[in-house]
């Protein structure tokens, strides 16, 4: 119940997930277009006071903007209390702020809005997130205004095409440091003042604050900094040289590619707790999940992934920050380009030269799965109706499919023309906004090629084609799924591989071919070659498509794959094999056999990790209860064989150990490792590996709550807290499952990451009888969960909590009943639609 103050009401106008909430409506595209036609925002001056209370903070904001005289407009704004509010010196009544919006009337040609308000901290990773570190009790804050959360910190015009300069000041405790987009002007008497930024969109304004540990450097005239919470100081110091080296290498490569140098002054990178994304491209202050500061041993593929994220976020400084999409239908102008350029620059500029192998194995598989779900959409959809729909498009299509499409575009127009077009695009729209049409115009000019047809089939139409190789005569056959009949032109490589007398397998040649947008394209150059032991379609991974080999090559995979020296070729083969199993074209038992024979000799760590992860998932969902134990034992044997031949202390050994831990049922061996007995030479049973072992023991009923509590007492850290939550959810008892379920669906005191970890630990194939009652409860109770959580955290929680291991027609019936509801939250609808489609495939594969 709101409490009325003498002049202003106490309006608990918070989003879903908070006491006394008022639902905040999404911003529609039509509203955004109309507002942009009326208002020209110039600047925001924001002074936050984060010293007053644990649940709220003070915010004084001055917004300066031009407008059509006499017009009306609104700003996004979600205060707890308003102390004062004036427009051009005249008081604005409290009633103007309602439902997450501040309505203004009688605008002048130039306007100044001044608001002093009390705002609420969040625990869901949105707005101004407040976190208490269990390691030392220190408090940290980070600001994440992504898509439509600006009003949770300040009154603002929260849409990407209304850019403005931000000038920020923060009153903070005496022992804190504060970092922001702008460069620091002064830090005296507990007030941190920052210079005005270049024009940026509201969702790009951020800060990071607390008793931070900082490491600084400089490169090519650009000040560099790394920030982390105090508990990770030693870990950051250990990683700082690598992080700075990658940052400098990427900056140099982007400066080689782009005419406009890095445009935002200093380049700071902060590692924040409980961050919803892997990272976010705030100009001048890129923020990452702080799990990327490693406290335990990691594989080289994890370090490569971190380097790729650094390169990805740096690409956003041009694609997204310098030139920003006008509306969320052009999200691909941000994410597809950052995904493509991040992978490319990581491969070209850092030691991680195999980044395209990782893309083929891992990222593209993400895109292919998303593109085949019921929620599929074009890379560049014609219409994104509102900000809720925009959130749903942050998926494998906007990232990985878009990047693969760009790789195909580069093959189509040539790299020189591609980069020339990008530079023309930046020059024309620097510090402004742009659309698909703007970019295509620049690329058309630079390449001299009409890209209208290309963009129509690759960017405007959803779903994926399947390419099959046939021989005698050699041809590529192209099909499209029912309901999405588009065939596309492809530029691909066709590799011919032969067994050599010494037992190796060599690539004889790669035929580059233009595949027409037709059902069948003859490839005479392949017919002109002698028969090969294996013909690999899409050698080099140039195009985006599902790949199927000819019959003879398919039969040869098990003997050829272990002997291939090219890691990218192996990745393409593994990815095609896994995809065929997902589609039910090959049995999961055949995959397990291939894993047992081929994986122990695999040298590329990312292939090891992804094959083990994907195979374990397919065994859990595609095997029956009767066949699953034997299949899982074979996966464990494959990991054990790899472990036995791996170099002590190396990445492959660690990847093999993790795979073995996740698949084995040998509880005695796992207990021994925890006790330091029988541990392979070179394998460190450090904090994270101890938790992984304990988690598996808990699932198997070989460890209990006392064991979890003891481990958390030993490792009272942020990571330890998350692992403990996951382990408690995995305890195979009715009481533990009931407590975990309550946390998932109703406990708003838990932060985003703890809820997500609880949900991720709930379902296990070994416990299906125990958790059977929660199958129907998911569909009955998850809509209520969506009313107490919001945004990306709600989506992750709904996905992790889905009963995907209950592969049964009854589960699909519950899903159909829920999807029939007209009032279903759009995020939950998408999660259920796509998860149900995955279950459809699993049922078909089983029966």
Q: Which helix (H) or strand (E) holds 657?
A: helix 651-663
Q: Is the pLDDT of residue 18 over 50?
A: no
SS3 755: helix
Could you report how far apart the first and last alpha carbons of the chain are, in Å?
A: 55
Over the chain, what is the mean pLDDT? 95
pLDDT > 90? residue 4: no
Does the pLDDT at position 10 exceed 50? no
Asked if residue 130 lies in contact with residue 183, where contact means CB atoms within 8 angstroms, the answer is: no
Q: Rounded to two decimals, what is the model's pTM?
A: 0.95
Per-residue pLDDT, 53: 85
> Given this model, what pLDDT does residue 658 score?
98
For position 14, what pLDDT does the model report?
Answer: 37
How far is 660 from 649, CA to CA, in rounded Å?
Answer: 16
Q: Is the per-residue pLDDT at 791 higher than 50? A: yes
Q: What is the pLDDT of residues 282-310, one digit of tens each?
A: 999 999 999 999 999 999 999 999 999 99
The token pair at 748 is 């708003």
- 323 phi and psi angles, rounded to 5 deg: -120, 120
User: For 585-596, what is the mean pLDDT?
Assistant: 96
Q: What is the mean pLDDT of residues 312-340?
A: 97
Please state the separation of Cα 629 from the chain's center in Å.
32
Say what the pLDDT of residue 52 is: 82
Class of domain 212-464 as given by CATH = mainly alpha
Span 1-210: which CATH code? Answer: 2.60.40.1730
> pLDDT, tens digit, for every residue of 661-676?
999 999 999 999 999 9
Q: Locate 767 and state its tokens.
A: 């416990």
Sign of the torsion angle spanned by Cα atoms 756, 761, 762, 765: positive
Distance between CA 280 and CA 55 in Å, rounded? 25
Here the tokens at position 765 are 């194939």
Name the more confident of 53 and 317.
317
> Is 50 exceeded by the pLDDT of residue 17?
no
H/E segment holding residue 579: helix 567-582
Task: Find the mean pLDDT for residues 183-187.
Answer: 97
Torsion-angle region of residue 2: left (phi > 0), alpha (psi -120 to 50) or beta? beta
Please indicate whether residue 274 is annotated as part of the active site. no
Cα 368 from Cα 365, distance rounded (Å): 5
Task: Give the pLDDT band (50/70/90) at residue 593.
Answer: very high
The mean pLDDT of 239-250, rounded to a whole number, is 98
Q: Which is nearest to 389 in space by CA: 30, 46, 659? A: 30
Looking at 554-662, which runs of residues are DSSP E strands? none
* pLDDT score for 24: 79
The confidence score (pLDDT) of residue 129 equals 97
Give me the percent of the chain exceeding a pLDDT of 90: 94
Domain ranges in the chain are 1-210, 212-464, 736-750+759-847
User: Are the C-beta atoms of 87 and 93 separated by less than 8 Å?
Assistant: no
Please pick, among 78, 274, 304, 313, the residue that the annotation labels catalytic: 313
Element (H or E) spanning 333, and its range?
Answer: helix 332-349
- Mean pLDDT in residue range 209-227: 98
Q: How confident is the model at residue 502 (pLDDT cuts 50, 70, 90)?
A: confident
**Please, are residues 289 and 302 in contact by the beta-carbon 8 Å criterion?**
no
> CA dist 528 to 161, 475, 498, 520, 523, Å?
55, 12, 16, 18, 9
Q: Is the pLDDT of residue 790 over 90?
A: no
Asked whether this chain's domains 1-210 and 212-464 adopt the same fold, the reply is no
Mean pLDDT of 478-499: 96
Q: What is the mean pLDDT of residues 136-161?
A: 97
CB 115, CB 71: distance < 8 Å: no
Q: How many CB atoms lie within 10 A of CB 6?
A: 4
SS3 388: helix
Strands 466-470 and 546-548: parallel
Confidence category of residue 25, pLDDT binned at 50, 70, 90: confident
CA distance 718 to 724: 10
Q: Which helix (H) or strand (E) holds 496?
A: strand 490-499
Q: List phi, psi (to 5°) of 25.
A: -75, 145
């Amino acid at each position: 119940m709101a409490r009325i103050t003498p002049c202003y009401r106490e309006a608990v106008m918070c989003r879903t997930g908070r006491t006394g909430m008022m639902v905040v409506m999404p911003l529609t595209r039509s509203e955004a277009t109309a507002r942009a036609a009326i208002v020209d925002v110039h600047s925001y001056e924001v002074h936050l006071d984060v010293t007053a209370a644990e649940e709220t903070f003070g915010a004084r904001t001055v917004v300066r903007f031009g407008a059509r005289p006499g017009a009306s407009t609104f700003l996004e704004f979600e205060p707890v209390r308003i102390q004062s509010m004036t427009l051009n010196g005249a008081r604005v009544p409290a009633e103007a702020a309602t439902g997450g919006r501040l309505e203004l009337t009688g605008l002048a040609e130039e306007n100044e809005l001044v608001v002093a308000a009390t705002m609420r901290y969040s625990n869901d990773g949105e707005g101004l997130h407040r976190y208490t570190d269990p390691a030392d009790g220190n408090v940290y804050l980070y600001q994440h205004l992504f898509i439509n959360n600006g009003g949770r910190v300040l009154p603002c015009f929260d849409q990407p095409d209304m850019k403005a300069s931000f000038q920020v000041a923060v009153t903070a405790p005496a022992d804190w440091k504060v970092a922001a987009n702008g460069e620091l002007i002064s830090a005296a008497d507990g007030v941190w003042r920052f210079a005005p930024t270049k024009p940026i969109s509201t969702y790009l304004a951020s800060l990071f604050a607390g008793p931070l540990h900082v490491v600084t450097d400089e490169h090519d005239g650009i000040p560099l900094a790394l920030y982390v919470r105090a508990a990770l100081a030693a870990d950051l110091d250990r990683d700082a040289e690598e992080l700075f080296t990658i940052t400098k290498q990427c900056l140099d490569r982007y400066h080689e590619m782009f005419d406009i140098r890095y445009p935002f002054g200093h380049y700071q990178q902060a590692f924040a707790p409980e961050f919803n994304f892997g990272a976010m491209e705030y100009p001048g202050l890129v923020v990452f999940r702080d799990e990327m500061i490693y406290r335990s041993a990691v594989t080289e593929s994890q370090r490569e992934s971190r380097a790729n994220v650094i390169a990805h976020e740096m690409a956003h400084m041009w694609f997204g920050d310098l030139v920003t999409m006008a509306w969320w239908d052009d999200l691909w102008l941000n994410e597809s380009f950052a995904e493509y350029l991040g992978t490319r620059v990581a491969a070209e500029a850092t030691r991680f030269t195999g980044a395209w192998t990782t893309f083929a194995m891992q990222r593209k598989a993400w895109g292919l799965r998303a593109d085949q779900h019921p929620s599929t959409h074009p890379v560049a959809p014609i219409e994104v109706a509102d900000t809720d729909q925009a959130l749903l498009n942050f998926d494998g299509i906007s990232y990985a499919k878009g990047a693969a499409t760009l790789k195909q575009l580069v093959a189509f127009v040539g790299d020189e023309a591609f980069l020339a077009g990008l530079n023309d695009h930046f020059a024309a729209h620097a510090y402004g906004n742009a659309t698909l049409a703007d970019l295509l115009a620049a690329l058309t000019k630079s390449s001299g090629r009409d890209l209208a047809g290309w963009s129509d089939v690759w960017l405007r139409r959803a779903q994926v084609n399947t390419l099959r190789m046939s021989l005698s005569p050699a041809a590529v056959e192209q099909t499209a799924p029912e309901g999405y009949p588009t065939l596309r032109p492809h530029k691909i490589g066709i590799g011919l591989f032969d067994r050599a007398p010494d037992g190796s397998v060599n690539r004889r040649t790669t035929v580059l071919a233009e595949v027409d947008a037709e059902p069948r394209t003859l490839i005479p150059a392949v017919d002109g070659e002698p028969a090969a032991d294996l013909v690999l379609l899409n050698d080099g991974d140039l195009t985006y498509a599902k790949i199927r080999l000819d019959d003879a090559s398919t039969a040869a995979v098990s003997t050829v794959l272990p002997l291939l020296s090219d890691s990218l070729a192996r990745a393409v083969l593994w990815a095609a094999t896994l995809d065929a199993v997902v589609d039910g074209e090959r049995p999961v038992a055949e995959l397990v056999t291939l894993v047992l024979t081929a994986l122990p000799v695999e040298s590329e760590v990312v292939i090891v990790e992804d094959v083990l992860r994907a195979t374990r998932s397919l065994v859990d969902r595609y095997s029956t209860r009767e066949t699953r134990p034997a299949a899982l034992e074979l996966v464990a044997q494959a990991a054990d064989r790899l472990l036995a031949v791996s170099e002590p202390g190396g990445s492959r050994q660690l990847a093999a150990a993790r795979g073995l831990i996740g698949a084995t049922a040998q509880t005695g061996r796992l207990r021994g490792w925890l006790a330091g007995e029988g541990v392979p030479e070179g394998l460190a049973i450090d904090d994270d590996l101890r938790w992984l072992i304990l988690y598996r023991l808990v699932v198997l009923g070989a460890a209990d709550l006392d064991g979890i509590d003891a481990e958390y007492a030993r490792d009272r850290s942020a990571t330890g807290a998350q692992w403990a939550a996951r382990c408690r959810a995995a305890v195979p008892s009715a009481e533990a499952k009931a407590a975990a379920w309550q946390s998932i669906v109703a406990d708003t005191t838990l932060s985003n990451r703890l809820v997500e970890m609880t949900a991720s630990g709930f379902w296990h194939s070994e416990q299906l009888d125990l958790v059977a009652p929660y199958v129907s409860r998911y569909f009955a109770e998850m809509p209520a969960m969506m009313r107490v959580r919001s945004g990306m955290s709600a989506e992750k929680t709904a996905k992790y909590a889905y009963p995907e291991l209950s592969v049964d027609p009854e589960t699909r019936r519950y899903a159909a009943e829920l999807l029939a509801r007209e009032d279903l939250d759009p995020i939950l609808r998408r999660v259920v639609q796509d998860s149900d489609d995955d279950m459809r495939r699993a049922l078909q594969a089983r029966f």
